[in-house]
Structure 1
């Protein structure tokens, strides 16, 4: 008996202690079947086990079980859904702004094309009327004004308009025009990148 007035040891009476263990019961001390560990009188059996280092070097392979998607928790919460909707709205607004700027650009190009045609008509008309040096100077100024306008237009359109005039231009101006046309082409490439 201990100081609390209880018996120490198993709670069973001596008659129940003598009961045999089932045949499936394995002793943890000697690893034999048919008796409990506290009844064992044999020596503890040494069982060789791998060291911790060996275990770390050659770990057991984990068995991975695939869980069907319907049983997995949904990863997208309310906050993620709201963020996704806002991002879609931003993208939509961005596309609208791009369309507006394209419309403005195309309208401006149409206006400049009309203005360019007018200047070419004026130049051709003046060249036909008089071929004096003063008129050639005016012609050159008008031609470079046309080229300045055509920097804002497509290269192919500006080139087609200038071909109408090229037949009537002296060779010295053709060199200046070729330089100006290369500038027009570079400007068009910049417009396409926008």
Structure 2
């Protein structure tokens, strides 16, 4: 077999081995996204994810909440505290007074981000509708999360299949060229 072809095939095989042997990097970083919602009572929930892949931010968040009511009152700045319900869920350290508020959350670590939403704070009344199913925002978030999980689950086997097919084609080409060179050497 001639040397340039051997070098090309060796480099191709080395690249394939590196791709198959190394798992995909799961490192996160970059821009973060803040999803701010009222909890239906007197607090604010903030869900923190990475913009690029939608995965939860597990690093410590440094963020504050400020709010302005429709009647001109102001609230904050109040730091956000990690919520016991999840590792990327945060609550304001102090309850929001009753009323309608324009809430702004500003994060500085692990990335800079801000979000502004309208929230109504006050005592909640028990209702049969709220007790029987998730809120529309929660249902939408769950559906989006499930779709992202399905996409990720389907994407990895597809990538592995494509890599395996390319590797098989490279091996077949290498064997074919080796057989052809061996046959021509016998003549």
Same fold (TM > 0.5): no
Higher Rg:
1
Q: Kindly indicate which of the two structures has a greater share of residues assigned to strand.
A: 2
Q: Kindly indicate which of the two structures has a greater share of residues assigned to helix.
A: 1
* Larger RCO (CA under 8 A, 6+ residues apart): 2
When the two structures are superposed, what TM-score results if normalisation uses the length of structure 1?
A: 0.29
